[in-house]
Amino acid sequence: MPETNLIETGASTQSYYQSINKAYHKLYHKPLMLHYPFFKEPGESLEMRQMNLTNHCISCIDSLENKHVLEVGCGNGIQSVYIYEKFNPGSLLG
């Protein structure tokens, strides 16, 4: 892929995530995670369904407690904060 295409792709990705962040702020008055929701129960909020996906993914690995965690592709950082507060890693970089 030519370098100009990579730059254009990066700019469009940044624009996409900025628009989602703005929409979440407008609708929910706070930032939310930037990934698809995982539907478990009827009536759950979007925020809960986003937490469901994070919880599901983390349930597939060993405990994060007191471990060093690198979260790659952390978007706006909301998922990193959630992981840090809920799963008690020793450190988290994301």
Per-residue pLDDT tens digits for 34-92: 888 999 999 999 999 999 999 999 999 999 999 999 988 778 889 999 999 999 999 99
pTM of the predicted model as reported, rounded to 2 decimal places? 0.79
Among 64, 68, 43, which Cα is nearest to 55's? 64
Residue 1 burial by Cβ neighbours in a 10 Å radius (0-12, 13-18, 19+): exposed
Domain span at residue 16 reads: 3-93
Reported residue count of the chain is 94
Overall domain count for the chain:
1
